[in-house]
């Protein structure tokens, strides 16, 4: 599914984020930026040691913030690493932290001249953020960004599994 917003496109796809041919892909990282499970581990394995070297030099990343590195062996030129919140109960600023993670990735991408970016569903795996709530935050943030600027031409959400894709499609239809 894809929609045009301002001069950009918002796209939803099921697949492997490490195989995206966008200028940048986003890594749902941990604070140490040293690799882990899920999307984080897959990106580090596919991208090779250069990504880890740059992550170590960056010295970590706080929740809601973003750091950029090379794409290493990936098709993408850059990897933007962000740390989403661990979901506790929705009463500990999780929604704002998740919104900031997406916003800060988009701002960093724009500052580097990125025209296309692929996101996973941040915080919805091991960090247990409820998928539908997370999708609404992610999509609202992307829509708002595309309405307000014209430098990023494509924001793609690359989702793991049919269920995640269906949830994102349902939320996007509701938002538009």
DSSP per-residue letters across 49-77: HHHHHHHHHHT---BT-EEEEE-TTSSSS
Query: CA-based angle 27:31:33, to the nearest 5?
Result: 55
Strand ranges of the sheet holding 2-5, from the earlier edge strand across to the other edge? 2-5, 8-14, 154-159, 116-119, 24-28, 78-82, 66-70
Strand partners of residue 61: none
Q: Which helix (H) or strand (E) holds 38?
A: helix 38-47
Element (H, E) at 140: helix 131-148
Annotated catalytic residue 16:
no
Candidates 16, 21, 23, 40; catalytic one: 40
- Catalytic positions: 40
């Amino acid at each position: 599914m894809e929609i045009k917003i301002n001069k950009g496109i918002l796209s939803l796809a099921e697949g492997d984020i490490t195989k995206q041919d966008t200028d940048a892909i986003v890594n749902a990282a941990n604070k140490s930026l040293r690799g882990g499970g899920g999307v984080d581990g897959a990106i580090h394995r596919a991208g090779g040691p250069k990504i880890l070297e740059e992550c170590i030099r960056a010295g970590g990343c706080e929740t809601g913030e973003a750091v950029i590195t090379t794409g290493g062996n990936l098709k993408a030129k850059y990897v933007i690493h962000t740390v989403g919140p661990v979901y506790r109960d929705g009463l500990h600023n999780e929604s704002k932290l998740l919104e900031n993670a997406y916003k800060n990735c988009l701002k960093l991408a724009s500052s580097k001249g990125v025209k296309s970016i692929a996101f996973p569903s941040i915080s919805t795996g091991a960090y247990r953020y409820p998928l539908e709530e997370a999708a609404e935050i992610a999509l609202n943030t992307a829509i708002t960004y595309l309405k307000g600027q014209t430098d990023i031409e494509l924001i793609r959400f690359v989702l793991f599994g049919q269920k995640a894709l269906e949830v994102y499609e349902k939320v996007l239809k509701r938002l538009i």
